[in-house]
Chains A and B, each alone.
Chain A
């Protein structure tokens, strides 16, 4: 790169001070710096309240609990950054867990085929969301709201009103157990390994050509199309990613808790809150997947802190609402400047 292009001076029109940078570093919309600071402050607060929080096993247990939400946030990120929403993930998680219990029905041999089936089902739901949104041009908000209702209704009907069957111990192991005998850490939970895998794949995808094209689609779909991007396909892939992430999160959540219709309730909004908290702009085109995952971790830390402080669960929902309002308002203000 020549000095001409690299130099901010020369004959170039002066860049307004404080406006440059944006995207990656800096404080602009899409930056991860604010969420990092909030996360550090919250972690300090949790550490004060619960001094053993930084013991490796406690910390890993915390990460294990946070893994499903972080994975959901990663999936939701792909959809949001392309300019869409996925409201179906909460009910998809519920559907997956209920399906798993009924199909496995305590039979260990059925575990791995069912895990494969769950992933395929997540992809299928993502495909339908994507195709309806892009080819039929239904706003994704409506498409995925419809899918949410369809899944809730279908699961109720299929099970006759209460979940049946049981998960096998092998299945629950994924969410509960880990690799034993790791030095220093003790047990390394499988959930944390899965989370690491998802995080690496997500970051690599966003660094690849696909990720950059996805950002361009969310930023300006018309321009992207006129530059040769298959926008419908790219947006559909984002829904596929979200569906697959929901399936993975469901498998982990199935291990944590019991089988119920409540497993995934409200998770779509928690995931969207996390993504927004991570500096990702609703409407698309700005923000990083690392930010979205950090946002989920931050949200989980906040919920932990509220729990430690004895704040009731009901109030934590209000806190989420405030976060989403504040984050979007701040993002809009920053963009306007």
Chain B
């Protein structure tokens, strides 16, 4: 079907979506034209992925309409979206590494001849598609597992094209690519564009957005802030649209300037496969905020300090003493605590009781037979002190709210009296009341002499809580900001719109 030359290829009007009463997308309009690269930008949680999932049939919108080439469509499932000509390239590829390129492209709809798969036709058609996008390095017979990440991405794109995709949604397509591969992706995107395909390009990285897109839609807190031509936009205006918002929550008072104590954790040129050498000093009594986009190396930093994917190079000092942390156990024994981002997957034993979860670190690291009653009493007191609301300490922790679960994790670490605490998204998925309580606890811990490193994607939290902020980008520290820095300054460093020299540190 030739695209309607007047109207947009994909038109979304008033699209909204709520989960469990929380509105994550509200009244969003978007027009994607044939041959256009339309960038979708916004902070984590702005609603980009929800919008993408609606356009690709994964979610059903609660409100609003979708039109494809002027015809209203509903997309009850991803297959319907594929049939309608909407393809999506996820960050994580859906490829079978043990199969060939052609087998992947035609998976589940192999051309048949006399009851058998017609390999010749399958290979010929795949070769045609590959040639059509100017890709000559990949053969249809190649095993996908042997291809580079960039080539696998090409296979994903060919898979979508084989289904006659007219609209292609690309989710952070450069996230998994090496630098030299990005240019190849650019060329590919431009060739797809020439073929009249409309591309919805979702990315945090403003450089790419400016390099590739013709139009930009900015989302914030589930709403469309603005849509503008790329030619009219600047990095500054985009960042301002992405973040500008009121502080709606009060944070505990920061440490007095200059009150931070001695260095508790010092990293000098510490790096590993995911981190360029990092220099960082974390002092007693301070909350050091770590900002940056997802995948910028924030969590990799915390994980390296905690010995999960440890540092390979450089030095780590704990209270001035050189330490080598090769496992989480060694970290715990050294007085480091890590509150993980994925509470259910990495923090809790969900079928065990509140008390058992709170006691786990002590039982693991300091097992004992005598004095257990006293230890249990202490932990019960801690659970009280952090105000865990539960039907009792014997209740299975799975039935607690996210905020209460997080408080139990906190009590677990408090019982170890850690010197250094690493928090990764400490209030993700937690209601407002519990959030404030956790913020207070973090601040009290610092005031009691612990050194706190807090990773957060939520800019108000990052800025409201931190005595200093370091911002990471591409596995390195992009710059440091003082307490109370603006959201624009953080986003500027995080997206690469500003370099550290442009921002007063």
- Top 3 nearest A-B pairs (CB, nearest first) are A228-B332, A12-B389, A219-B349
Could you tell me the distance in whole angstroms from the C-beta of B365 to the nearest C-beta in chain A?
Answer: 5
A1 near B360: Cβ-Cβ < 8 Å:
no
Distance A267 CA – B359 CA, assembled complex (angstroms): 36
Distance A222 CA – B338 CA, assembled complex (angstroms): 13
A223 near B308: Cβ-Cβ < 8 Å:
no
B384 near A5: Cβ-Cβ < 8 Å:
yes
B367 near A6: Cβ-Cβ < 8 Å:
no
A212-B395 contact in complex given A11-B389, A223-B347, A226-B346, C-beta closer than 8 Å: no
A209-B349 contact in complex given A13-B401, A228-B333, A230-B329, C-beta closer than 8 Å: no
B353 near A23: Cβ-Cβ < 8 Å:
yes
Q: List residues of chain A with CB under 8 Å of any chain B CB.
A: 1-2, 4-6, 8, 10-13, 15-16, 19-24, 30, 208-210, 212-213, 215-216, 219-220, 222-230, 285-286
Chain B residues whose CB sits within 8 angstroms of the CB of A30 once the complex forms: 351
Q: List residues of chain B with CB under 8 Å of any chain A CB.
A: 306, 308, 328-329, 331-333, 338, 340, 345-353, 356-357, 359-361, 363-365, 367-369, 372, 380, 383-384, 387-396, 399-401, 404, 412
A285 near B393: Cβ-Cβ < 8 Å:
no
Distance A228 CA – B401 CA, assembled complex (angstroms): 25
Partner of B389, one of A5, A215, A224, A286: A5
A226 near B351: Cβ-Cβ < 8 Å:
no
Distance A19 CA – B391 CA, assembled complex (angstroms): 11
In the complex formed, the residue of A with least CB distance to B353 is A23
A-B contact pairs, 27 of them (CB 8 A): A1-B380, A1-B393, A4-B387, A11-B389, A12-B390, A12-B404, A13-B404, A15-B399, A19-B399, A20-B391, A20-B399, A23-B394, A23-B396, A208-B369, A216-B357, A219-B350, A219-B352, A220-B348, A220-B349, A220-B350, A223-B349, A225-B329, A226-B306, A226-B346, A227-B364, A228-B361, A229-B360
Distance A210 CA – B367 CA, assembled complex (angstroms): 7
In the complex formed, the residue of A with least CB distance to B330 is A228
Chain B residues whose CB sits within 8 angstroms of the CB of A209 once the complex forms: 363-364, 367-369, 372
Q: With A1-B392, A1-B393, A16-B399 given, can you name 11 additional A-B contacts, CB distance below 8 Å? A: A2-B384, A11-B389, A12-B390, A21-B394, A209-B372, A212-B359, A220-B350, A223-B347, A226-B340, A228-B329, A228-B333
Q: How many A-B residue pairs have CB under 8 A?
A: 129
Distance A133 CA – B329 CA, assembled complex (angstroms): 20
In the complex formed, the residue of B with least CB distance to A12 is B389
Distance A230 CA – B367 CA, assembled complex (angstroms): 12
Partner of B352, one of A19, A216, A225: A216
Could you tell me the distance in whole angstroms from the C-beta of B305 to the nearest C-beta in chain A?
Answer: 13
Partner of A13, one of B372, B389, B412: B389
B365 near A228: Cβ-Cβ < 8 Å:
yes
Could you tell me the distance in whole angstroms from the C-beta of A303 to the nearest C-beta in chain B?
Answer: 31
A212-B356 contact in complex given A5-B390, A223-B345, C-beta closer than 8 Å: yes
Distance A119 CA – B144 CA, assembled complex (angstroms): 51
A216-B346 contact in complex given A8-B391, A228-B332, C-beta closer than 8 Å: no
Could you tell me the distance in whole angstroms from the C-beta of B302 to the nearest C-beta in chain A?
Answer: 11
Could you tell me the distance in whole angstroms from the C-beta of B128 to the nearest C-beta in chain A?
Answer: 43
Chain A residues whose CB sits within 8 angstroms of the CB of B353 once the complex forms: 23
Could you tell me the distance in whole angstroms from the C-beta of A114 to the nearest C-beta in chain B?
Answer: 33
Partner of A285, one of B346, B351, B359, B400: B351
Distance A230 CA – B360 CA, assembled complex (angstroms): 12
In the complex formed, the residue of B with least CB distance to A19 is B399
Could you tell me the distance in whole angstroms from the C-beta of B340 to the nearest C-beta in chain A?
Answer: 6
Chain A residues whose CB sits within 8 angstroms of the CB of B356 once the complex forms: 212, 215-216
A226 near B395: Cβ-Cβ < 8 Å:
no
Could you tell me the distance in whole angstroms from the C-beta of A309 to the nearest C-beta in chain B?
Answer: 38
Partner of A12, one of B306, B338, B391: B391
A212-B360 contact in complex given A19-B399, A226-B347, A228-B332, C-beta closer than 8 Å: yes
B368 near A227: Cβ-Cβ < 8 Å:
no
Chain A residues whose CB sits within 8 angstroms of the CB of B359 once the complex forms: 212
A229 near B364: Cβ-Cβ < 8 Å:
yes
A227 near B345: Cβ-Cβ < 8 Å:
no
Distance A26 CA – B380 CA, assembled complex (angstroms): 23
Chain A residues whose CB sits within 8 angstroms of the CB of B369 once the complex forms: 208-209
Chain A residues whose CB sits within 8 angstroms of the CB of B328 once the complex forms: 225-228
B391 near A223: Cβ-Cβ < 8 Å:
no
Distance A331 CA – B39 CA, assembled complex (angstroms): 48
Could you tell me the distance in whole angstroms from the C-beta of A210 to the nearest C-beta in chain B?
Answer: 7
Partner of B332, one of A216, A222, A227: A227
A5 near B350: Cβ-Cβ < 8 Å:
no
Distance A30 CA – B356 CA, assembled complex (angstroms): 16
Could you tell me the distance in whole angstroms from the C-beta of A189 to the nearest C-beta in chain B?
Answer: 31
Could you tell me the distance in whole angstroms from the C-beta of A257 to the nearest C-beta in chain B?
Answer: 39
A15-B391 contact in complex given A226-B346, A227-B412, A228-B328, C-beta closer than 8 Å: yes
In the complex formed, the residue of B with least CB distance to A210 is B367
In the complex formed, the residue of B with least CB distance to A24 is B394
Chain B residues whose CB sits within 8 angstroms of the CB of A23 once the complex forms: 351-353, 394, 396
In the complex formed, the residue of B with least CB distance to A211 is B363
Distance A208 CA – B331 CA, assembled complex (angstroms): 24
B361 near A227: Cβ-Cβ < 8 Å:
yes
Could you tell me the distance in whole angstroms from the C-beta of B392 to the nearest C-beta in chain A?
Answer: 6
Chain A residues whose CB sits within 8 angstroms of the CB of B340 once the complex forms: 226
Distance A19 CA – B368 CA, assembled complex (angstroms): 32
Chain A residues whose CB sits within 8 angstroms of the CB of B364 once the complex forms: 209, 213, 224, 227-230
Partner of B308, one of A8, A22, A210, A226: A226
